[in-house]
Structure 1
Amino acid sequence: MLRPGKPRRLDKPISWSENAVHRILTSEIHLGYVIYGKTSGSGHKNKRTAPLMEKPEEEWIKVRGNHAVLKTEEEHTEILSALSRRKLVPTKARKMAYPLSGLVRCGKCGYNMAFTFKTSNQKVSLKTCQHADHVGNRCRNSGVSAEVIYNALNHFLTEYEDRLRGEELTSEDEHDLKNLIASKENKIEQLKSGFDRITDLYIMGTLNKEQVKVKTDELSAQIQRKQNELK
């Protein structure tokens, strides 16, 4: 704490660490809550106290505070969702060190392999695996140029895409598809017959010209939507 009469130094920049930003983003304080009772005990090393333990969230005491609300529940949920998705991507890959950083594993021992930039040829390559077993024997699976990996991956993805595009429908799938198309075409024909009904209602005097136009436009829009579904 600052001593009375001693102003805070404003010339020293505040350091925003990743952990500090993460705590701010995930804190429910900015939702307008004040939370008590997250832990029990103190774990003081010089006093006889109960060990410090973190309580399960359902035992926390959460009440509405009087401070300003800085985000909505929807925004908070989206933030947590975004952070959760971010965890699925390795740190180095998130920092874009190299396209496959943290994603390549050794085919021999199964451990991660690292990329390196060689100044001699100005190219990126996969380093020789340095993983050691429990007795100290290193894997030494040789590395390779990153270009070889990228080309192999691109070849695999191209083949996979071609295979997906070229897959033939089974007879059962084809039958279901034909039934679906026939059903939609039948629905379109039913809608088109509605023009005759509108004309009949106009002749009978049930609808005037303005009502006929509205009904015709609505029916045309429905038919157009159904036709778009068939494309």
Structure 2
Amino acid sequence: MDNTSYIIKYVALYLRKSRGEEDTDLEKHRFILREICVKHGWKYVEYVEIASSETIEYRPKFKSLLSDVEEGIYDAVLVVDYQRLGRGELEDQGKIKRIFRDSETYIVTPEKIYNLVDDTDDLLVDVRGLLARQEYKTTTKNLQRGKKIGARLGKWTNGPAPFPYVYVAAIKGIEVVPEKNVVYQEMKSRILGGESLESIGWDFNRRGIPGPGPKNGLWHSNTMRRIVISEVHLGKIISNKTKGSGHKKKKAQPLVINPREEWVIVENCHAAVKTEEEHMKLLAMLEKGQIVPNRAKAGTYALSGLVFCGKCKKMMRYNVRSDGYSTNSIKACNKYDHFGNYCSNSGVKVSILTDFIDREIADYEQRIIDSDNYINTDVIEKLERIIREKETQLTKLNRALSKIKEMYEMEEYTREEYEERKVKRQQEISALESELAVHRYEINYDSREKNKERMKLIKSFKDIWSSESATGHDKNMIAKMIISRIEYIYDKSTNNLNISIQFN
């Protein structure tokens, strides 16, 4: 690599660990790039990406590097080979080229310096990008094929090992962790004995038993359900259960659950922690105890999804008879926290809540009529609180930015440290200022236009709620357009009832 015709002083080192590479590979690349900097007397800042995607959107360090390159902070960016910058979709490669070309920033590898302003280098980069993209597709295909073959050979290829197992790289499989298995066996036997998932979870949390997963958090009934119904605990490895991806942003085929007859099931891959008979009993018991409030979720009743407990803030539900009909009352709050503490908020008649709503709607309408510039004080107070908090954060960030400059002037920071810290703070300040602008706009929104919309909704609400032909679903739909939530606390012993309402 000849750099005699290029003026380069400040550079960025971009290091990215690709799939299948070891930590030693990353260190080797770092050594190579640092040696180049030492040889030519270049000052450098490192940007390190671990196990990242090929798509720019999911590579935070690279996004930060591109932003810095676009601002002209560096003379060049060093990589061990061009494909480290990207071998994703053509639009990503085009974006990378444009930023480097427009900022006149060089791309440096151990073999060559690319100047994208030069037509020859520009064409060469296009060819290298196309080859890199093809290589990526081939590598991805080989990895997917290897995963499928590994599963058929009884190797664990399904991500983190489920509780109570641990992945063992030496055997490319999973093994039972004895102390975790003690917890699993207790959980299994208690469920088979008729105990609920909730009560078992509360007991485990009270006893300080670490939950599953890397964070060892609290036990939850949904987590426990997934554990006890898993067929992995029968000693099996199952693959080809799905195809596509459920990720909301990545470009891929939509997630599809394959029928069981298409699954690849390999038996006796690791030690089982339950029998087939126990597995079937667990499924039967969990199915029997499963309660899904479909009516409430569908907004069947007028106040479905709108009434909340004023004590624990959980959603309240209608009392429903065994034949599915509402009893026209809200059920007492029967929620527990993660330690089994019971919420004692009493139930209340729906008519009491609807009468309260009618009065509040009338008052709400009158406030709008009385004032041409009526504003929803609840919303405004919330926005003002958010703005104050963000303004405080902004003041702190500006102080920090000034302090960084002072430290650099006092030679406490090197140029590289100064640039890195300054850019980070500037990005945070820019993001905060954008958020503040949005919130200030919300406060200054044209009150007259907003109030016209409110008055139309109130009229529709009154018409629908007074109509004998309107269904509970109809009432619920219009109510949710005006009301965000209703909270109450009812003490039956003193007959003390406090209700509050929040409008959208």
TM-score (norm 1): 0.39
Structure with the bigger percentage of strand: 2
Structure with max Cα Rg: 1
TM-score (norm 2): 0.20
Higher relative contact order (CA 8 A, sep 6+): 2
